[in-house]
Amino acid sequence: MSEPCQVGLLIETSNAYARGLMSGVAAYVRQHVPWAIFLSESHRGDCSLAWLSHWKGQGLIARIENPKIARFVKQLGIPVVDVSAARLIPSLPWVETDDEKIAQLATEHLLERGFKRFGFCGDHRFNWSRWRQEHFADLIRKRGLFCSIYNSGRAETGYQAGEIEGIAGWVSRLPKPAAIMACYDFQGRKVLNACSQRGIAVPDEVAVLGVDNDEVLCDFAAPPLSSVILNPHRTGYEAAALLARMMDGERIGAEAHRIEPLGVATRQSTDVLAVEDGGVAAAVRFIREHACEGISVKDVLRAVPQSRRSLEERFKKLIGRTPHEEISRVQLNQVKLLLAETDWSLERIAECTGFAHAGYLSSVFRRMSGATPSHYRALNRPKVAGKIL
């Protein structure tokens, strides 16, 4: 019996996104190949490469975050898949987040809350932050709306007083109410700390949205931080699949393999509706709380008594959708999350999201998303050992 291939993971172990990458690699290994995995405890951009100096491996999945790591990886002479946005070795295939889709989700989430003024708080050191900024600002400005940009990035970790003070000054100058997209959850927490320092009410004066959905970071924020949900598990799985093909001798080009986000986890930091029409605000809140119970517009009108025609006209003007479309949108977003994050049958998902039966759910899903539920699931959750992970 041949010895298993030795595959190294040059991925930090210090954050939830990176651990999600590793879980995706592990899922691929369980299904396909008996790789012997080599991994060292590290943080982002860790230049401690001693463990690789005498390692005789056949393949590597790496977060190539700085020139020192890039030089070292080039010398290995083995197949490598890059899972960093830095792109320091352009000839390598790479698997990364789809930053345009992340910005789209963030834009939709904040626009749905009625905001007309926006900000982006980024970290200029990272490509993924710059790309998210560019897409977010472009989407906001295409709506004819205001978007202010602020970039920091003095320290990888921690909350230096000067950095928080700089963010606080920027947030204070924003016209209120405003909604801010932070490039990732750590930056979102800095924005929340800055708001607290200046006595700015979150989410009433400023709503804040992060990226990564690191649940520990988000839940310990004050208030808890809403965040775009990424799919690092699939990213790691796809990287492992590419590496396996390369180790089998296949030539893989340097094209990008971008992985879409799954949705938005709404917490207190964006749990607000910035519209002055109390009737529309109450209707939106009722829909978002009860859409997956199978409600109709009649149920909305019973909960928030008013003329149906008047509500629909004002709702369309302020939210950009009719009440019925908003009910369907909330249901569909929950269906997408359940398809991606569970192995539930379509019948069970239909029951939990307010659809009469699986066939009707499938029809609505295809009409609204352009894909069947099974196709969406296949794209967003790799199959392992006969089941969806």
In whole angstroms, what is the distance from residue 359 CA to residue 364 CA?
9
pLDDT mean over 304-330? 88
HSE-up (13 A, CA, CB side) for residue 333: 17
Strands 6-10 and 178-182: unpaired
- Determine which helix (DSSP H) or strand (DSSP E) holds 384, and give its type and residue range: strand 383-384
pLDDT digits (tens, 9 = 90+) for 177-225: 999 999 999 999 999 999 999 999 999 899 999 999 999 999 999 999 9
Return the pLDDT at 84: 94
Does residue 389 lie in a domain region?
no
Answer yes or no: do 128 and 182 share one domain: yes
- Determine which helix (DSSP H) or strand (DSSP E) holds 265, and give its type and residue range: strand 263-265
Alpha helices in the chain (DSSP H): 16-31, 50-53, 67-76, 99-111, 127-142, 161-173, 185-198, 215-220, 232-247, 278-290, 297-303, 308-319, 323-341, 346-353, 358-369, 373-380
Answer yes or no: do 131 and 248 share one domain: no
DSSP 8-state secondary structure symbol assigned to residue 5: P
Answer yes or no: do 124 and 182 share one domain: yes
Answer yes or no: do 253 and 292 share one domain: no
Summary mean pLDDT of the chain: 89
Answer yes or no: do 13 and 161 share one domain: no
Torsion of the alpha carbons at 12, 17, 22 and 23, rounded to the nearest 10? 150
Contact 281, 300 (CB under 8 A): no
Residue 300 structure tokens: 């909305």
* Number of compact structural domains in the chain: 3
- Determine which helix (DSSP H) or strand (DSSP E) holds 229, and give its type and residue range: strand 226-229
Q: What CATH number does residue 45 fall under?
A: 3.40.50.2300
- In the beta sheet, which residues pair with residue 206? 178
Contact 349, 341 (CB under 8 A): no
Does residue 237 lie in a domain region?
yes
Cα–Cα distance list, 26 to 52, 58, 236, 238, 298 (Å)? 20, 17, 8, 11, 49
Does residue 1 lie in a domain region?
no
Answer yes or no: do 213 and 239 share one domain: no
Residues counted in the chain: 389
DSSP line for 105-126: HHHHHHHTTT--EEEEEEETT-
pLDDT digits (tens, 9 = 90+) for 263-293: 999 999 998 876 678 888 888 889 988 999 9
Residue 230 CB-density burial (10 A; 0-12 exposed, 13-18 middle, 19+ buried): buried
Answer yes or no: do 105 and 204 share one domain: yes
- Does the pTM surpass 0.75? The reply is yes
Torsion angles phi and psi, residue 269, rounded to 5 = -65, -15
Residue 372, domain extent: 278-382
Q: How confident is the model at residue 386 (pLDDT cuts 50, 70, 90)?
A: very low
Return the pLDDT at 226: 96
pLDDT digits (tens, 9 = 90+) for 76-114: 889 999 999 999 999 999 999 999 999 999 999 999 888
Residue 108 structure tokens: 């939709």
